[in-house]
Amino acid sequence: MFARLRAISPELKETTSLVGPALDLALQFKHSLHDSVYVALALRETCELVTAEEKLHRAFSFRIPQVHLLRQWP
């Protein structure tokens, strides 16, 4: 599993423009702004978000299918 993660080259992304969408998500899902920035980024980039945080996964995955829990990720 970690070999797959290491094979992905991380890329830095600008997040200033994500504050508005992340705040909307935080309020809608009653979740932290910090985690909502990650979700907003995944939505903007149309990519998968894989997290080890079960609370984040529970909050978003039922309505945003690209949020995955690491231990369940293929």
Residues 53-70: tens digit of each pLDDT? 999 999 999 999 999 999
Structural domain includes residue 68 = yes
Q: Which residues lie closer than 8 Å to 5 by C-beta, 6 or more apart?
A: none
What is this structure's pTM? 0.85
> Do the domain assignments include residue 60?
yes
Q: Which structural domain, as residue segments, surrounds residue 44? A: 16-72
**Nearest residue to 33 via CA among 63, 10, 7, 56:** 56
Residue 12 is predicted with a pLDDT of 82
Q: For the chain, how many structural domains are there in total? A: 1
Query: Which segments in the chain show pLDDT lower than 70?
Result: 1-2, 5
Residue 45 located in a structural domain: yes
Residue 11: the pLDDT is 80
Query: Hey, is 38 helix, strand or coil?
Result: helix
The confidence score (pLDDT) of residue 74 equals 82
Total length of the chain: 74
Give the C-alpha distances (Å, rounded to integers) separating 42 from 22, 46. 11, 6
